[in-house]
Structure 1
Amino acid sequence: MLDNADLGKLIIRLTLGGLMLFHGIAKLIHGVGFIEGQLAGLGIPAIFAYGVFIGELLAPLMVILGYQTRIGALLIAFNMLVAIALVHGHELLALGSSGGWALELQGFFLFTAIALVFLGPGRYKLKN
């Protein structure tokens, strides 16, 4: 018999991990030059831009598979905090053109990841 709470956690994991994975794949295909430039502008070595692959490829796969989900979710949350600080900080209190929060997507990734840190993977996962 299906447990509704565990099914809900699976849906959250697949949604967060799946949607974040698209961002990682895009950076894999197109590179991280933009992030390198943002970091260089702050005096941070550009090599740290490659850390985005941990937060947008490795961590989403961990979340999707339910393997070390809490750690994967924490990595995604950290990734989003860095993205907000580097690129989206000026939009923190702004509204988008449709009237919603300008950082809806970033907020979704951040707060869903934090929720998974607390909720855990649920029953439908790879065995740890």
Structure 2
Amino acid sequence: MKNTYTTILNLEKTDFGLLLFRLAISGLMLTHGIPKLITFFTSDEIQFADPIGLGMVFSLGFAVFAEFICSILVILGLGTRLAVLPLVATMAVAALIVHWTDGFGRQELPLLYMSGYLLLYFAGAGRYSLDYFLLNKK
């Protein structure tokens, strides 16, 4: 119990914490990405927000790429620092453009996701990742 409040990082515990965090945040993001992926490949006409004027198809495609493909990459810890950039961008657009007039209650979740992905950008994927395995192969 005396180590509970220490400020010295235990790298093994930090790496395990990053693994759990990657699995949790990207697993939860997949619940947003899978329905968009299904919508993207249906034969129905695409009806999706176009918050920055690039077209509904491009906007939905980018959201699918970020929320589905990049989430899987983050779970695997493969190209993590690059994979979180589209996720950060998507969450910034959701919070600061799409839900700007909806109030903080609707902005809170995308801002929370964005904060988590920024943490992964700066901290990296940790030891328990494909990034670590591939970059430290002898």
Provide TM-score, normalisation by structure 1: 0.79
Identical positions, percent: 35
Specify the alignment match of 1:87 in structure 2: 98
How has the CA–CA distance of structure 1 residues 87 and 124 changed in structure 2, closer, same or farther, with 3 Å as cutoff? same
Aligned length: 117
What's the secondary structure of 1:33's corresponding residue? coil
Specify the alignment match of 1:114 in structure 2: 118
How has the CA–CA distance of structure 1 residues 64 and 45 changed in structure 2, closer, same or farther, with 3 Å as cutoff? same
In angstroms, what is the RMSD of aligned CA positions?
Answer: 2.2
Aligned partner (choices 67, 74, 79) of residue 63 of structure 1: 74
Q: Find the aligned partners of 1:103 and 1:47 in 2 and give their Cα distance.
A: 23
Q: Find the aligned partners of 2:86 and 2:58 in 1 and give their Cα distance.
A: 14
Name the structure, 1 or 2, with higher relative contact order (CA <8 Å, separation 6+).
Answer: 1
What's the secondary structure of 2:70's corresponding residue? helix
Q: Find the aligned partners of 2:53 and 2:87 in 1 and give their Cα distance.
A: 24
> 2:19–2:125: 8 Å Cα contact kept in structure 1?
yes
1:8 aligned to 2:17?
Answer: yes
How has the CA–CA distance of structure 1 residues 72 and 116 changed in structure 2, closer, same or farther, with 3 Å as cutoff? same
Q: Which runs of 5+ in 2 are unaligned?
A: 1-10
What's the secondary structure of 1:121's corresponding residue? coil
State how 1:25-40 maps to structure 2 within 5 Å: 25-31=34-40, 33-35=46-48, 38-39=49-50
Specify the alignment match of 1:125 in structure 2: 129
Q: Which runs of 5+ in 1 are unaligned?
A: 97-101
Q: Find the aligned partners of 1:48 and 1:86 in 2 and give their Cα distance.
A: 16
How has the CA–CA distance of structure 1 residues 79 and 43 changed in structure 2, closer, same or farther, with 3 Å as cutoff? closer
- Look up the equivalent residue of 1:13 and give its one-letter code: R
Q: Find the aligned partners of 1:53 and 1:103 in 2 and give their Cα distance.
A: 20
Provide TM-score, normalisation by structure 2: 0.74
